[in-house]
Structure formats: structure tokens, C-alpha cells
Structure 1
């Protein structure tokens, strides 16, 4: 039996978990590509522009065939707001990756579900019981352990990483305003165009002519990002969300290993402790959501 046949024969939850672990690995690889380009002196604006441009290219044949159907929508303002939040999160994340260890940025990024709970309660008037509020507060305390406000260790890049997590949360909340019929292709298309428009000016101002190696890395950032997003969609469509979602935390392992192998980065005690608190609180929230029979938020672009 071929490898594809053996994979198809797996339980759907195991297939979904496999897709999620693959996505987590690819996202970590994307972080390595971004850091490599940043170490070469390339601005995060130029990297963000390339990420959106090369992610858009595979979509163009479908957009031309359908007459740019994603822009004929009943929710243009929601699409625009979500795209701007996603683009802001991407550029903030790329800036953070250029300045901070890969594992640290990844750990802070896992606070986005906590921000989502707060925003859902405020903007969508969702009911949040005291257990979820308590777990959310504990998760934010874990973030404070990592960021350590008021200490000499606090850097603007850490605030950018927090901004990345908040931007992703805003995008998730806005996705919840769409009907289920709204396509993922439309969301990705709006994200790419918004990112290109936001990054184009600063990217051109700070433009650095890429070497052949850097061109390969820039193309990789775009295509790898799209591949990771497609894997996440496959993971959620194949397995149960409550079973599949926790495997996203394998990104912490991948980020730690790749950060050490490529950049000799060793997470400090504060990063490890804060990450453990954030993951534990998120696991508890996911467990409560499963018990209450609530679906988890849909996947969104993470850069």
C-alpha cells in the first residue's frame, strides 16, 4: 500500500492531527526564512510585501477565471477590516521575528486565542463564564512573565509580538461576522491585496535589491505561508476541531528546535515558564469549550 493509501486509511482525527503538525512545522520554517532575510539586512516591510505578492500569484488564475468574484461581496467593509488586521499582524510579526528569538515570538503568538475571548465578549456580546475569564487571566499572566513590563528585558519588538497576537484575534472575531458561505479564497485575496498596499510604500523606500539566494527565500516566504494555511484548513476539515487544535502547540517545539539549529537561540527560563502557563490556560479553555459543545474559531492567516 502506498503512503497516500496508508494515510487515507487513518482515523480522520489522526489525519487532522497530522495536517496540523505539518502546518506547525511549516509555519516554523517560515519563521526561519523571515529571520534569514532580516539577518541579511532586508526590512520587514519588503519581506511582508513579498509574502503577500508571491502568495497572491497562485490565486490570480482563479481570480481572472471568475472575474475577480471575491471583490463582489456583500461584506466589503468587514473584508477590508479583517484584511487590515491580518496585514498589521503579519508585519508586526515579521518585525518581531527580525529582533527576537523564534520560540519567544511563537510563545507570545499563542496569546491570540486569549485576546479572541476578550474581543468576542466585548464586540460580539458572547457570554463568557467565570472559568473562562479566570483561565484567560492566567494566560495573560503567562504573557507578562515573558514580556516582563518595566524590566530592562522589555523591547519594542516584544510589544510588536503582542500586537501580532492582538491583530490575529481581531481577524478571528471579524471572520465570525461572515456567513459560512463566504469563501476562504475571498478572505485570502483581500488579505493579500491589503498587505501589498500597506507594505508597498515602505518596501519601495527601504528596497534592497535581492541576491538570487534572497529571491528564493522571498518566494519561499510567500509560498510556504500559503502552504501552511492550506494545511490548517485541511486539518480542521478532516478532524474534529477540539481534537486537532491542541496539536498546533507543537509549533513551540518546532520553533525551539529550528531557532537553536539555525540561529543558536536558547529559550530563557521566562520564555519557557510563560509559554507553559499560556499553553496550560489555552488547553483548559479548549477543554471547557468542548464540554459546552461550542465550536472553536475558524483558522485565519498568521503570516
Structure 2
């Protein structure tokens, strides 16, 4: 559909490196997020992934030359403390899934920063199509090597994942392309609330006290960051 709308991923562009970096970071973010989802409570994995807006802020300063708004430093510090409480590092392999969730936030932050940098340079449709094509080609060798044989139920779950993930990618790309990143990022925290409810209803997951405190710190830091960028 995006291709029919004129979004040719093979057309020459001086912004190819931004599209490539967005695609690589986006794919790594998805990979690390799935690793976290496979081992952590849904809410914990979602909280760690939702550190991405803070990395958008940092990468925007480092790569786009944006100014760090007053009040952002305390918000970033609170988000980092919150992430540590959710991760609960033990310095052994048991912490790796949580660290993968944190890495997904870093990669997603870089990807969203590149989307923001492409505003006015490339269309949202081309950004989405390039990412989708890159992800398909990059993961195809793994698919051929592993040759999974999903059951009908797993096929249904995969189809649902693909449909909702594609919808989410379109929504986020258009949002970050047309609105201020700080304003968009606050609304993405509804994802954590949905994850908490779904995890409890479907699997009886109950985040521990440290995760709840960490979640409050991360979401509170996001609200503070939003206010700081409005000042």
C-alpha cells in the first residue's frame, strides 16, 4: 500500500543513512523487546521498553543538536532509577532478559530520533516501507535456517502480532513525524497500563513492589519531561 502511494524504498536519497539507522535500530529494538517479553512479566517488559522517550531526548541532543530543556536532568535521573528498580540487577545471567528490555528502549529511542530527523526530508510511508523491507530481508535467513512449524493457534497469534504491530508502527511514525516528540511520548505510556491489565487478566501476572515503584518513577519522569519541554 505504501509503495502504491509513491514510497519507493529503492529511490536514491541523500538521507539513506538516516533511513538505514532507523531501520537497524528499530529491528534491534523489536528483537530485544521480544527477548524481554519471553522472560519477564508483560508490564515489566513494557516499562523497560518505555524508557525510549528519554533516549529520544538524549539522542536528539547528541545527534540533532537540540537543547536539553530545563528540568530534563532530574527526569532522566528518575527514569534511570526506575529502570534499575524494574531490572533489579543481580550481575548474573538472570538479569539478561531485563537488560534486553532496557536495550529495547535504547534502540527504540534511537529509531524514533531518526524518524524525527527525517521530518520534511522523507515521507512517513517511505520510512515505514523501508523499515518493513529491511526487517524482512534481515530476518529471512534466520527463518530459512530455523524453519519453524507453527500450530494453527500460533499462526493466529503471529497474524495478530503482525497486524497490531503494523498498526502501531504506522501510528507512531505518523505521530512522531507530525507532532512534537515530547507530546507523543507521554501518550505512549498508556501502553504500560494496557500491558498491566492484560498481563493480570490473561496470565495472573502481579508486578512486585520494586517494579511498581520503578514504574511510578518512570511514568512520573515522563510527565516531568513533558512539562519541562513545554516551558
Using the size of structure 2 for normalisation, the TM-score is 0.87
- Kept in 1, the 8 Å contact 2:124–2:174? The answer is no
- In 2, Cα distance between equivalents of 1:251 and 1:269: 20
Aligned to 1:189: 129
CA separation in 1, counterparts of 2:174 and 2:61?
A: 29
Offset at residue 242 of structure 1 (A): 6.7
Output the CA distance in 2 between the equivalents of 1:184 and 1:243.
Answer: 18
1:76 to 10, 13, 16: 16
Q: Which residue of 2 aligns with 1:144?
A: 84
Gaps of 5+ in 1: 1-58, 292-303
1:282 aligned partner: 222
Change in Cα spacing, 1:171 to 1:102, as seen in structure 2 (3 Å) is same
The answer as to whether partners of 1:260 and 1:266 remain within 8 angstroms in 2 is yes
Cα drift, residue 234 of structure 1: 7.1
User: What is the CA deviation profile of residues 235-291 of structure 1, one whole-angstrom value per residue up to 9, with x for unaligned ones?
Assistant: 779998776653332222211111112222111111111010011111011011122
Secondary structure of the corresponding residue to residue 149 of structure 2: coil
What's the CA shift for 1:118?
Answer: 1.9
Specify the alignment match of 1:174 in structure 2: 114
Equivalent position to 1:216, from 153, 156, 162 = 156
Asked if the contact 2:79/2:218 (under 8 Å) is kept, the reply is yes
Change beyond 3 A, Cα 1:71–1:262:
same
Q: How does 1:31-46 map to 2 (within 5 A)?
A: none
> Gaps spanning 5+ residues in structure 2: where?
none
Q: CA deviation at 1:127?
A: 2.0
Check whether the contact 1:114–1:140 (CA below 8 A) recurs between aligned residues.
Answer: no
Q: Is the deviation greater in 258-267 or in 270-279?
A: 258-267
CA RMSD of aligned residues (A): 2.6
1:55-81 superposed Cα distances (whole Å, 9 cap, x missing partner): xxxx3xx42574x62331331121111
Distance, in Å, in 1 between the alignment partners of 2:111 and 2:30 is 11
Instruction: Report the CA distance shift for 1:243/1:124 in structure 2 as closer, same or farther (over 3 A).
Output: closer
